Structure 1
Amino acid sequence: MKVKVLSRNPDDYVRETKYDIQRVPRNYDPSLHPFEVNREYTRALNATKLDRVFAKPFLASLDGHRDGVNCMAKHTTRLSSLLSGSCDGELKIWNLTKRECVRTIQAHEGFVRGIVVRFCGTSFFSVGDDKTIKQWKMQCPEFGEEEEPLNTILGKTVFTGLDHHRQEGVFATCGQQVDIWDEQRSSPIRSFTWGVDSFSCVRFNPVETELLASCASDRSIVLYDMREATPLKKVVMTMRSNTLCWNPMEAYYFTCANEDYNLYTYDMRNLEQPVMVHMDHVSAVLDIDFSPTGKEFVSASFDKTIRIFPKNGGHSREVYHTKRMQHVICIKWSADNKYILSGSDEMNIRLWKANASEKLGVLAHRERAATNYNQKLKEKFQHHPQIKRIARHRHLPKTVYHQSKELRVMREARRRKERNVRKHSKPGSVPVTTEREKHVVTVVK
């Protein structure tokens, strides 16, 4: 009697691994998997819960300054280098890999107001309350060599901000006016004023490198072109903007950090109203920096928290805080898109993960595949109520929680009053004003 059987050679489908994990052939026909969605939902729910369990964003604290950290700068060519300036005029260069200070310079008398690294990374500039611009070598001085600046320019007024061109030996400063400087000259090659007392920050556009923008004390944001003799245009807002940052991937967009607790993203081609209003902070926003991808930005606030916003989202996806961290004055997003650095006025620089639950270090192939699979599941089911609730939940400091609750009540009261006025007025006499239109006073060209 002959019995016919199916036989397969295991070498065709068994992987050669040290664990002898057998590769099981799988049929993806949906009719064979009637409970696939249920199973995936459960996996997405578990992945979301584990995401919150493993969310430990704080990595390290760089301690060494003797006064509040007032400004920071990233190195243009090295990921592991960070420069920071404090309120006592001290400037430090940090090695982030070793988490230690490699060089300390007593650069200025009074506050260090701005630091920027030259586009090639060989030197850096600093400005301070002592009305000087100083250029320093990036390399440490030789044994026995004095720590002296390469070049010192004495200005007429205090400089409050500084930025460097991305491709040329040109940098910009701001104070009572916006000045464009050539590195080879001791006087500005161009100066811009527009009837303003002072400017708090100036930033070059990283894409359209001839453009720059500044925040002024008359609540305005002014746009300039280096090739023109006069400023291009300005938008006046209801409250003052502290600083701004250009989107590194979309040339026309910039986001400004305002005193009214919000951030505003503008398209420079149409300044009549912001593209997006980003709300969540409960105190003045002091600094902002975009991620290298241009999809997100991080903001630092006087309310002692750091928030990460999507570029087109009105609310933050993440909030970072610690018990000891005080008012966060400056913030930077690392060039590899993995870390965030914050400087606060209790003399500490803190290192955070950009993705709170991300596992650092080398991942095995199967581990990476599992992470990607879980990420896709979370995206697929992100709008389901239970998953959405768990993903959005954050513990806030008590003061921030109560202030945000109070701000919500105040906003709702204002809306209710507006509705009542409109209801009891002549039709059309009280126009509907959107949230975006409320904050722009005028645009001057």
Structure 2
Amino acid sequence: MNVLNRSDSVIVNEHSFKYAAFISYNSTADSKLASALQLALHRFAKPWFRPPVIRVFRDKTSLSAHPALWHSIQKALGESEHFLLLASPGAARSFWVQREIEWWFANRPAEKILLVLTDGALVWDDVNSDFDWNQTTAIPVNFRSRFEAEPLYVNLQWAKTSRHLSLEDLKFRGAILDLAAPLRGIPKDELDSEDIRQHRRFRIFRNAAVSAILGFALVAAWQWHEATQQRNEAQKQTKIAVAHQLAAQAELLRTQQSDGLPLSVLLAIESMRISASPEAHHALHDGLALLPHQVSAVSHSESVKAIAFSPNGKYLATGSKDGTAVIWDVVSGKELMRLPHGKTVLGVAFSPDGKYLGTAALDQTARTWDLTDGHEILRLEHRMTRGDSVTTVAFSPNGKYLATGDFDFTARVWEISTGREIFRMAQDEAVHSIAYSPDGRYLVVGSGNSTGKQSPEIAKGGATVWDTRGKRQVTHVDLDGAVQGVAFAPDGKSFATASWDHTARIWDTITGREIMRFSHPSGYVEAVCFSPDGKYLATGSNDNTARVWNVETRREVSRITHDKFVNAVAFSHDGHYLATASLDRFARIWEPGNRHEINQIPEAEFNMMGMNGGLPAIMLNNLSKNENLGWESLSGNQSSKVPGVQYTTMMLGKTVTSQDGKYMSQLGSADVKPGSDKTAIVWELPAGREVAGLSHQAPINDIAFSSNNSLVATASSDRTAKVWKLPAGREVAHTVLNSCVISVALNSDGQYLATGSEDRTLRVWEVATGREVEKMLHKKEVGAAAFSPDSQYVATADVDNLVRVWSWNSTPEPYVVAEFRHEKIVKTLNFSPEGRYLLTISGEPSSFEDSQARLWLWRPEDMIIEACARLPGNLTSEEWGQYITGERPRKTCPKLPGP
């Protein structure tokens, strides 16, 4: 009996048959369809969590292969209520299908047969009440005369693909409903409703399950994300800690270990690469500022004791312990001439015309050599009782005289043309160095006990200035160590000493008053020389370094490292090169000094500094002569004059030009022509034609042009910044702030305006809408600003002398990527056209103080490239293991040797 059991909403067929149907089919033609039918009949109108309501027999799934196969099929046929034939020509020809049909007709009623047409034809003949066997091809002849009326059948000839054989396909579901209803003994509408209900219940459960799974998955994903975040944060913090440690070690090596500069820079690079930070940037910048670029190197077979440049800067002379003096080509390092002395050469000097070389040696002689062919033209014998060394030699500026010093406590002046001694200067100790003043009037002699009879710590020394005209002593200074080197400043007003008391000092030539001193805490100072312009002092030390100092600021600006003591230093006559000589057998030629500091601007001869045609330059005006303005490049070469603009009143302001030099504007006080301090006049160059007047209600503090010359911006004490269209001078934007606007900048296309103000902020505005898009807080008022060419960065300078470069346009929050400090307030900022350099200019042009222009590498990648170009090598494996643990050694600079 068939009933619908509503207690658990499951339709149940309560019958003694084990199977609701036996599927008979041709396995070759209909195996896939038979499997799909069986699965669909099992699942139809069934709760998802219960077993099938009915079971359908299919031989491939219900029987295992064994010899008594037909017996098993007979048993299954006997346990099946219905016979489900998949009718097709293949089935009609199948032996097994025919045998199964024969059994059924012999043992079961024909009305329990259900037909599913999968291929071929089923044609009924109403006249004969039988199939038309001339046209019927899908069933075997066993069916002849078995039915009194045409049996119903389900047509599945269309169901050929997996997409068709799914209950999700409505047509296939309808066919299954047609078959399931008689198999279950349930009306189609009830069975259809039950299937829909079960399907709905399943979807509800499935959605709930999916939601739960998604919930668990989301929780798991969140936990995984949190764990990943925590792991990443831990790794990040570890990297930051390692980077900070490396930056601190780099700083320590640079400041406390005299020969540790290369290692310091390498650690700073690794710190920057591991985790960029202000500390790493400072360490790399400060190290790079000191690190010079080596041009060439030459070597002797023994230590190099003396060094000198030729007047034209093309040649270098060295004296060595190997008993020779050698002339080298500066750029190529090629040996050009070798002059034999026999014993250690302690001193070398070129004559002012570069034709001769003077040498001093351990063989008690000083000699003069003709450099056209290398022959000796003069030999000066020092007959000594207390030593055997002529230690130093110097030509007079007029080239007529040669000064020498020796271990016999004497310095002498010789007439070169005759070889006659004309002046002897007795000293209290052995003479180590001697130098002429630029005008030749004075000689300074450095002396001290350094023969080994006394330790350097107690050896006394001194320097004596002699008047060569009056042949008298002018002044004498005593030091607590032997004076190994002396040099006059280019103006002759002062001289420098290098001493074993760990200092280099500058003294007044006439009074002997100490002016300043420079310390080598970890070594004795062996040599000293001034740059040709007198701005820098170079020192050599037995701490294996040579250093270059800014005389005005007393700041170290360059440090050169050798493997052993540095015995001698010499600037080329144009100041472009510095040569160093060392006990490590090498003489090296460097481009010295702080490359960032590119020029010092003289008093009262400039009006403003900036970029002229994209190149660093200063705008000059000789105020005393009322001469026209002109651009001068920061290399010191006059590059252009600006006609048509001439002033008869002293200028006390700031001149700003557009990047291509097309426009110029002057800011100044009320008594300064061409306009009052509330109006900025814009001229078109080179004609000097006035094109616009830009007015505010209070003094204008700054003005800036966009790169394309379409716009100009002004900042004023009336708390406003304005943007004007050029050349008409029409106001196109107006921004009001809550404090005095000090500085202003436009990005390259004029889309953004930056304002620096007294409220200690730098704000970026959208010119078209006036909307504030970013704000950067500072500790002091922002006095200058500039956009990088790509507008991704903005540089600022506050009145605390600090310059910062901010990333602002591509990050969620602005952050500082570079930071520099000046000694004075920075008034002008400019990026180079390609963005690689930042030009900063400090000082007060309006009060005619000395200003300072510097070019900075600010991008970490550019600083690293530059550092690698200057470094001699990478970290060794030992250094890597000492400073960077947990990582395998690698090349910090790919093109350098090691590790």
Q: TM-score, normalised by structure 2?
A: 0.26
Q: Greater strand percent: which structure?
A: 2
Larger Rg: 2
Q: If the length of structure 1 is used for normalisation, what is the TM-score?
A: 0.49
